[in-house]
Amino acid sequence: MKNTTITSAKKKVITTLTAASCILSLSAPAIGSTTIGTAIFGNSIVASAATYSTNYQSHSEPSRTLSNGSRGDDVKWLQCAINNLIVNGDRSGSRLSTSKLDVDGAFGNATKTAVLAFQRKYGLAVDGYFGPASRSKMKSVLRSATVKPVNGQLSAHFHSSEFACKRCGATHTISQDLINKLESLYSRLNCSKIIVTSGYRDPDCSVAVGGYRNDAHTLGIAADVICYDKNGYQIASSRVAWEAEQIGFTGIGIIDSTAIHLDVRTTSNYSNGHWFGDERNGDNNIPTFKNYKPRW
């Protein structure tokens, strides 16, 4: 289902100009994974950002029944938990199909719609009230919110900003196994740098570029990269593929002569726990890249 939240819409920011006795409407696209709210200062209405997040563990778990009109940090917990089920799926890998929520701590119509979708999916009473039964089910199906800080240095050569969605700017936790293996690749190839051309992808953005809502990029376990040698030249993807296989990447796909897809899929987070392919000719059943290894 196409996402119709503010991340794909435009909001109007109205500035009141009392000196001129007029009102100007300024249209601006939403940036990244934030939404635009309003806060009044004097005679101006200016933008304030409500950040999209899946990190429910940074908020207070509800101890009361939440419903339309509720406010507080426990509502943020619920909103983050809903987002986590949308983006990461539950413990069986099944994702909640509803629109992502702004984590603003206000239980409004969007949050109620998401709660209704959650209740329908898990066979609960569909009443829009997030009470003890819904909370218990939520806790039983949720995956851990974070395994690595979303913002910051992930390793010696990689920063979280490199893995933000290239289309919308959304961030996501990135697999530590992926980062460790990329560092091993960096060392094994004696790289001067590795450029991440695509890391995390928001599910809607993944579909927009020809991927899937639940592919490896949307799970934070994949990166499309170009590797550079010590002289600043791009390293052939065929060589990178062979080295990546030795390191233990479980998903490897040659994109073109120098770009390559790498991921660390397993059967616990991806339907196909192993895939080697060459996107140039559509070969998705390469047993090994040993024969691709160039002579050097």
What pLDDT shows up at residue 143?
76
* Chain CA centroid to CA 130, Å: 25
Give the pLDDT confidence of 8-49 residue by residue, as tens digits. Answer: 333 333 333 233 333 233 233 332 333 333 333 233 333 333
| Higher local confidence (pLDDT), 268 or 67 | 67
* Chain CA centroid to CA 282, Å: 27
pTM of the complete model: 0.55
Q: Kindly tell me if the per-residue pLDDT of 146 is higher than 80.
A: no
Across the range 213-217, mean pLDDT stands at 90
What is the C-alpha to C-alpha distance for residues 247 and 281, in angstroms, rounded to an integer?
A: 24
Instruction: Domain 56-141: state its class.
Output: mainly alpha
What is the C-alpha to C-alpha distance for residues 151 and 172, in angstroms, rounded to an integer?
A: 9
Query: Boundaries of CATH 1.10.101.10 in the chain?
Result: 56-141
What is the C-alpha to C-alpha distance for residues 146 and 10, in angstroms, rounded to an integer?
A: 30
Calculate the average pLDDT of the chain.
Answer: 80
CA atoms within 13 A on the CB side of 158: 31
* Residue 36 region by backbone torsions, left for phi larger than 0, else alpha for psi between -120 and 50, else beta: beta
Give the pLDDT confidence of 186-212 residue by residue, as tens digits. Answer: 999 999 999 999 999 998 899 999 988
Give the pLDDT confidence of 240-289 residue by residue, as tens digits. Answer: 999 999 999 999 999 999 999 999 998 877 778 899 999 999 999 999 99
Instruction: Domain 160-292: state its class.
Output: alpha beta
Instruction: Return the structure tokens found at 29.
Output: 């696209």
Segment (H or E) for 254: strand 251-254
Query: Boundaries of CATH 3.30.1380.10 in the chain?
Result: 160-292
Which residues are bridge partners to 159 per DSSP? 153
**Nearest-10 Cα torsion for 9, 14, 15, 19:** 150
Q: Kindly tell me if the per-residue pLDDT of 51 is higher than 50.
A: yes
What is the C-alpha to C-alpha distance for residues 21 and 19, in angstroms, rounded to an integer?
A: 6
